[in-house]
Every structure is written in structure tokens, then in C-alpha cells.
Amino acid sequence: MNFSDNLSTKEMKPRLCRHPMNVDGRCMKPFCPLANSKYATLIEKQGKVFLCLKTPERVHTPAKWWEYIPLPANNRTKAFEIITSHLQWWDKRSLYRVKKRYIYIMLMIRRIRKLRTMALFVLLFIFRTTLFIQFL
Ligand SMILES: [Zn+2]
């Protein structure tokens, strides 16, 4: 029996989660924040990084589910120290996922800054050239 014929392309694709608090992006029982009462993620808001913790003690108040802990956006070792101190007694896999996400978010912030400076330089160049053309 050939198993490769039975698997369609739809089944081969990983199911992705649309929840903004998801760590991995995968929508499965151990990775989805809706399915777990104990969960840890990282989010980025306007260039600042926050470690978000959800514990079963706060499940009855949905407005206070997440505890936000600010992290430095540039210093990886300091951020990892804070993360490990908060997730000391948690599952090692969740700690690994949070660290992985921190690295991705750091790279994203760097890329945003680079693109912003590039756009500024391009605008300055256009401004200068238009001024030059006007005075010709
Ligand atoms: Zn999900």
C-alpha cells in the first residue's frame, strides 16, 4: 500500500493559527493559547518586546489573562536571563519556543529600523534632486 497517494496536499500543509498570542504559529493542542491555561509568549508593540504569561490562577478573569513583562529589544543575553528567571519551573519546550520567538522578533525589529532609514535616505535624495532641478 502506498501512503503517499493517500495524503493530499491539504493534509500535508501545517495548520496555522490566527491568534495573535501564538508562539509557534501552529494550531495544535500543545501550541495554541486557546487550548492551554498555562502559556508563555512574546509580542512586539511599537518596537518594544513583552514577555506574556498566562497562568491558571487568572483564568476566571479574561481581561487579566496575560501578564506583560517588558524585555530589552537589543540585548539578547539580558532578555534570556529575564525569560529563564520567569519560566524557571515551566516546561523546557515552552522556554525554547519563547527564546526562538525572541530571536525572530529581534531580527524583525532590526529589519524595520533598516528599512526606515533607507526610506529616509531615499526621501532626502528626492528632495535634494527636486531642489537642484528648481535652481537650474
Ligand atoms: Zn490556534
Choices 1.10.3720.10, 3.55.40.20, 3.90.340.10, 3.30.390.110: CATH for 3-135: 3.30.390.110
Output the CA 37–ligand 1 centroid distance in Å.
Answer: 13
Average pLDDT over residues 22-41: 88
Average pLDDT over residues 8-21: 75
The Cβ-side half-sphere exposure at 70, using a 13 Å CA radius, reads 6
SS3 state of residue 47: coil
Output the CA 33–ligand 1 centroid distance in Å.
Answer: 7
pLDDT of residue 1: 47
Integer CA distances (angstroms), 130 to 120, 126, 127, in order: 15, 6, 5
pLDDT of residue 41: 93
> Which residues have a Cβ under 8 Å from the Cβ of 105 and sit 6 or more positions away?
42, 44, 49
Output the CA 49–ligand 1 centroid distance in Å.
Answer: 22
Domain borders along the chain are 3-135
Mean pLDDT of all residues belonging to the chain: 87
pLDDT of residue 25: 86
Output the CA 38–ligand 1 centroid distance in Å.
Answer: 15
Average pLDDT over residues 124-130: 88
